[in-house]
Amino acid sequence: MKISRKTDYALRALFTLVEHYHRGPVSVRELARRNDVPKRFLEQIMLEMKVKGWVASVMGKQGGYVLAKSPESITVGQVVRHFDGVMSPIACVSVHHYQPCSQEPICRFRRLFLDVRNHASRLLESATLASIYQGKPVRPEEVFALELTGGAGI
């Protein structure tokens, strides 16, 4: 139930690249500074994303990274799955990392985790960099909205 820092950092950098789409490369130094990410760590991450084909590098002085695909064609789900591996709360309901469990035939609560996975997955896969970039930042109150409406503690 947790997203790694690597994924978070990757997304921060990607959205900065969306902002600079078709306006030349942005260096890791700049990406790191603007997004408050350790520079050498981000280097690693950018390299991984280059291999994935999401970004392209421009070498040498004045170099940096650019988005290699359109913001419409990269989903947050893809990024999460690549860096965190799994999107399922538990391996017995994972497609890509399925591991069998002896209790499957009788387990009652497995369906609940399946539902959680399905919804999280649908949400993340349908979110492209472009669509998310349109949205506004979260207002502080919104984080507690659920609790205030008599809902759950989270």
Binding status of residue 111 toward DNA by CB under 7 A: no
Report how far apart the first and last C-alpha atoms of the chain are (Å, whole number): 12
**How many residues at the interface with a second copy, by CB under 8 A?**
66
- Do the Cβ atoms of 7 and 79 come closer than 8 Å? yes
Q: Is the CB of residue 41 less than 8 Å from the CB of residue 75? A: no
Binding mask 97-136 for ligand SF4 (x = CB under 6 A): ----x-xx--x-xx--x-----------------------
Structural tokens at position 40: 């050498």
Place of tokens 């930042």: 137
Which residues partner with 56 through β-bridges? 66
Output the smallest distance, CB 89 to a second copy, in A.
Answer: 5
Structure-block tokens of residue 117: 């996975």
Separation between Cα atoms, residue 73 and residue 90, nearest integer Å: 28
Tell whether residue 86 is a contact of ligand SF4 (CB under 6 A): no
**Residues interacting with a second copy, by CB under 8 A?**
1-3, 8, 11-12, 15, 35-36, 76-77, 80-81, 84, 86-90, 93-96, 98, 102-127, 132-133, 135-138, 140, 142-144, 146-147, 151-154
**Residues interacting with ligand SF4, by CB under 6 A?**
8, 12, 90, 92, 101, 103-104, 107, 109-110, 113
